[in-house]
Amino acid sequence: MDKTKIMVVEDEGIVAHDIARQLTDMGYDVVAIVYSGEEAVEKARELHPDLVLMDIVLAGKMDGIQAAEQINAIADIPVVYLTAYSDEKTLGRAKISGPSGYVLKPVKKRQLNVAIEVALHKHNIERSLKKNEEALRVSQEQLRALAGRLQEVREEERTNISREIHDELGGALIGLKIDFSFLTKSASKKENETVRTSLLASMDSMNKTIDATIQTIRRIAMELRPGILDDLGLVAALEWQLKDFEKRTGIRCEFFPPAEDISLDADLSTALFRIFQEALTNVARHSGATEVHVRLRTDADSPILEVEDNGKGVEEEENLSSKSLGFLGMRERVQMFGGRVTVTGTPGKGTIVTVEIPPVEKRKKED
Ligand SMILES: Nc1ncnc2c1ncn2[C@@H]1O[C@H](COP(=O)(O)OP(=O)(O)O)[C@@H](O)[C@H]1O
Ligand SMILES: [Mg+2]
């Protein structure tokens, strides 16, 4: 293994050489002995030692603490202070500079050895911790990007399928219905009354089936991706969805739209709409509420959506549990806009889900 490279910074020549000799005896490689702070910074940059032994009090403009700070700024090298000095102020300054250790002068071999080994060990641990933290940060970022992309792809697919179902299947059925009305006309001209009545009866039932199927297709297409969201925007889509919810569940709903018109980009509208749907589904499934109030407010381009119910109130553990995939999904959806979702429950009073999105210029910067 390579020897550990050490630089000694000490303005008293005899002391410096004594320390260097001790270091060499212990098996370290003394790569430089320097006598001033300025020189120390220069050599550290040039030689990149594994550790610096730094006298605190140095002759010249720069003392050991300033030199250590400058070295810290250019490279990740542990510094161990040499000091005979113990006035509080100097020690306080030394401490702030984040040293890896201290050795008292006059220097004793054993103490020197321990201080160096501890400093190197600590430094290694810190370095691998930093590396792990960085790796973790990167993988978290990747996960977020992936989650965002998955939502996008899912939404694109839903839009496509919805359109195809609506246009292709819906169109075919309408065609069938038109053909059918011709058939019905000719059937009604049949001479034989028994044949005519039975034909018309079964055609009527088929016609009803076609109508019901058209309704089903419309509903499926709407559920996949409400066209109203693309055509008329978020406010109209929320209003429509809430009315539909009221009709299906019997829960009284009230919508408070924003005072002024808003225009949000399509991705954000979709995210808010999907969160809103999930919140409503939760109200129907878990809350036991009889009333829901929905508010959409905007402060310039920074929307706030609130869904409030008067049900039993979500519990904190349910809200924050890793199993609460609905809430997790809501939070994931706003992440790429730098937004946040808060869920507050009051036992017996109800639950409020609040989605807040910051203004455009702040969106990318936040976590
Ligand atoms: N509006 C609400 N009122 C009361 N409890 C709720 C409400 N919304 C959610 N919860 C509780 O929080 C839990 C987590 O919700 P969610 O993450 O959407 O998961 P899921 O709906 O799949 O159970 C629910 O299981 C339910 O117990
Ligand atoms: Mg849910």
- For the CA of 285, the closest atom of ligand 1 is 21
327 lines ligand 1 (CB under 6 A): yes
- Per-residue pLDDT of 181-239, as tens digits, reads 999 998 889 889 998 999 999 999 999 999 999 999 999 998 899 889 988 999 999 99
| Six-digit token string for 249 | 């569940």
Asked, as a colleague might, if the bond just before 106 is cis with ω within 30 of 0, I would say yes
- For the CA of 329, the closest atom of ligand 1 is 17
First to last CA, the chain: 43
Angle (nearest 5°) at CA 301 between 137 and 345: 70
Q: What is the pLDDT of residue 2?
A: 86
| Closest C-alpha to ligand 1, atom 26 | 286
- For the CA of 324, the closest atom of ligand 1 is 17
Q: What is the pLDDT of residue 86?
A: 67
Which of helix, strand or coil describes residue 114? helix
| Six-digit token string for 23 | 């270091």
350 lines ligand 1 (CB under 6 A): no
CA dihedral (74, 77, 81, 87) positive or negative: positive
- Residue 298, beta-bridge partner list: 303
Q: What is the DSSP string of 193-256?
A: HHHHHHHHHHHHHHHHHHHHHHHHHHHHHHHH--HHHHHT-HHHHHHHHHHHHHHHH--EEEEE
Going by C-alpha positions, the residue among 290, 357, 353, 356 that lies closest to residue 326 is 353
Kindly report the length of the chain: 367
Average pLDDT, the chain: 92
Q: Ligand 2 center to residue 285 CA distance, Å?
A: 8
Residue 272 has pLDDT above 70, yes or no: yes
Average pLDDT over residues 83-108: 83
Q: What is the pLDDT of residue 323?
A: 84
Which residue type, as a one-letter code, is found at position 128? S
Domains 5-107 and 227-363 share a fold: no
- The top-level CATH class assigned to 5-107 is alpha beta
Residue that wins the pLDDT comparison between 261 and 12? 12
Helix (H) or strand (E) holding 32: strand 29-34
47 lines ligand 1 (CB under 6 A): no
Q: Can you give the residue ranges of every domain in the chain?
A: 5-107, 147-224, 227-363
246 lines ligand 1 (CB under 6 A): no
Q: State pTM to two decimals.
A: 0.69
| Closest C-alpha to ligand 1, atom 12 | 318
| Closest C-alpha to ligand 1, atom 2 | 287
Ligand nearest to the CA of 351: 1
311 lines ligand 1 (CB under 6 A): yes
Q: What is the pLDDT of residue 322?
A: 82
227 lines ligand 1 (CB under 6 A): no
Q: What is the pLDDT of residue 85?
A: 64
Alpha carbon dihedral 308, 312, 316, 319, in 10-degree steps, equals -60
Q: Ligand 1 center to residue 254 CA distance, Å?
A: 21
Q: Ligand 1 center to residue 249 CA distance, Å?
A: 17
Which residue type, as a one-letter code, is found at position 35? Y
Q: Rounded to whole angstroms, how far apart are CA atoms 287 and 131?
A: 46
Which of helix, strand or coil describes residue 112? helix
Residue 356 has pLDDT above 80, yes or no: yes
325 lines ligand 1 (CB under 6 A): yes
Ligand nearest to the CA of 280: 1
- Per-residue pLDDT of 328-350, as tens digits, reads 999 989 988 999 999 999 999 99
Q: Ligand 1 center to residue 282 CA distance, Å?
A: 5
- The top-level CATH class assigned to 227-363 is alpha beta
Buried b (16+ CB within 10 A) or exposed e, 82-98: bbebeeeebbeebeebe
